[in-house]
Chains A and B, each alone.
Chain A
Amino acid sequence: MIQVKGVRKSFGKNEVLKGVDLNVKKGEVVVILGPSGSGKTTLLRCVNFLEIADDGDLTIGDLSVRFKHATKKEILRVRRRTAMVFQNYNLFNNKNAIENVMEGLVTARKVPAADAYATAKKELDKVGLSDKYDAYPSQLSGGQQQRVAIARAVSLNPEVILFDEPTSALDPELVGEVLAVMRAVAREGITMIVVTHEMSFAHDIADHVVFMDAGVIVEEGTPKEIFTNPREARTKQFLDRILLKYDYSI
Chain B
Amino acid sequence: MFERFCRKGAESVAFDVSCVWFSFKVAIRYLHVTLFLSVIPLALGVALGTPIAVCRKFRVRIASQVAGALITFLKGIPLVLYVLILNFMILKPLDKLAEYSVWADKLRLMDKIEYYIGIIALSAYATVVISETMRSALNSVPDGQYEACFSIGLTRGQALRSIVIPQALAFAVPVLCNNFIGLIKGSSIVYVIGVLDILNGAMTSAQINYRFLEAYIAAALIYWVLCISVERASWILEKRFKKR
**Nearest 9 Cβ contacts at the A-B interface:** A104-B152, A108-B153, A90-B148, A80-B153, A84-B151, A90-B144, A136-B244, A79-B153, A94-B166
Whole-angstrom distance between the Cβ of A44 and the nearest chain B Cβ: 10
Q: Of all chain B residues, which has the CB nearest A48?
A: B151
For residue B170, which residues in chain A have a CB less than 8 angstroms away from its CB?
A: 94
The reply to whether the CB of B167 lies closer than 8 angstroms to some CB of chain A is yes
Known interface pairs A136-B243, A136-B244, A138-B244; A92-B151 also in contact (CB < 8 Å): no
The reply to whether the CB of B154 lies closer than 8 angstroms to some CB of chain A is yes
Interface of A toward B, CB cutoff 8 Å: 48-50, 76, 79-80, 82-84, 86, 88, 90-95, 103-104, 107-109, 136, 138-139, 152-153, 156
A107 touching B151 by the CB < 8 A rule? no
B144 touching A86 by the CB < 8 A rule? yes
A107 touching B148 by the CB < 8 A rule? no
Q: Of all chain A residues, which has the CB nearest B169?
A: A94
The reply to whether the CB of B163 lies closer than 8 angstroms to some CB of chain A is yes
The reply to whether the CB of B229 lies closer than 8 angstroms to some CB of chain A is no
A86 touching B148 by the CB < 8 A rule? yes
Q: Known A-B contacts: A92-B145, A107-B162, A108-B154. Give 8 more (CB < 8 A).
A: A48-B150, A49-B150, A88-B144, A93-B167, A94-B166, A103-B152, A107-B154, A136-B244
Whole-angstrom distance between the Cβ of A189 and the nearest chain B Cβ: 21
A94 touching B163 by the CB < 8 A rule? yes
Interface of B toward A, CB cutoff 8 Å: 144-145, 147-155, 158, 162-163, 166-167, 170, 243-244
A82 touching B163 by the CB < 8 A rule? no
Candidates A79, A138, A139; contact of B151 at CB < 8 Å: A79
A138 to B244, CA, bound (A): 7
For residue A80, which residues in chain B have a CB less than 8 angstroms away from its CB?
A: 153
A139 to B148, CA, bound (A): 19
For residue A109, which residues in chain B have a CB less than 8 angstroms away from its CB?
A: 153
For residue A153, which residues in chain B have a CB less than 8 angstroms away from its CB?
A: 151-152
For residue B153, which residues in chain A have a CB less than 8 angstroms away from its CB?
A: 76, 79-80, 104, 108-109, 156
Candidates A49, A83, A94, A139; contact of B152 at CB < 8 Å: A83
B155 touching A94 by the CB < 8 A rule? no
Candidates A84, A88, A103; contact of B162 at CB < 8 Å: A103
A83 touching B244 by the CB < 8 A rule? no
A107 touching B147 by the CB < 8 A rule? no
A50 touching B158 by the CB < 8 A rule? no
A43 to B155, CA, bound (A): 22
A50 touching B150 by the CB < 8 A rule? yes
A68 to B154, CA, bound (A): 21
A83 touching B151 by the CB < 8 A rule? yes
Candidates A83, A107, A152; contact of B158 at CB < 8 Å: A107
For residue A84, which residues in chain B have a CB less than 8 angstroms away from its CB?
A: 147-148, 151
A139 to B166, CA, bound (A): 19
Whole-angstrom distance between the Cβ of A55 and the nearest chain B Cβ: 21
Whole-angstrom distance between the Cβ of A59 and the nearest chain B Cβ: 18
Whole-angstrom distance between the Cβ of A249 and the nearest chain B Cβ: 34
B150 touching A92 by the CB < 8 A rule? no
Candidates B145, B147, B152, B166; contact of A108 at CB < 8 Å: B152
For residue B154, which residues in chain A have a CB less than 8 angstroms away from its CB?
A: 103-104, 107-108
A79 to B152, CA, bound (A): 7
Instruction: Give 13 CB contacts A-B under 8 Å.
Output: A48-B150, A50-B150, A76-B153, A76-B155, A79-B152, A84-B147, A84-B151, A86-B144, A86-B147, A92-B148, A93-B167, A108-B153, A152-B152
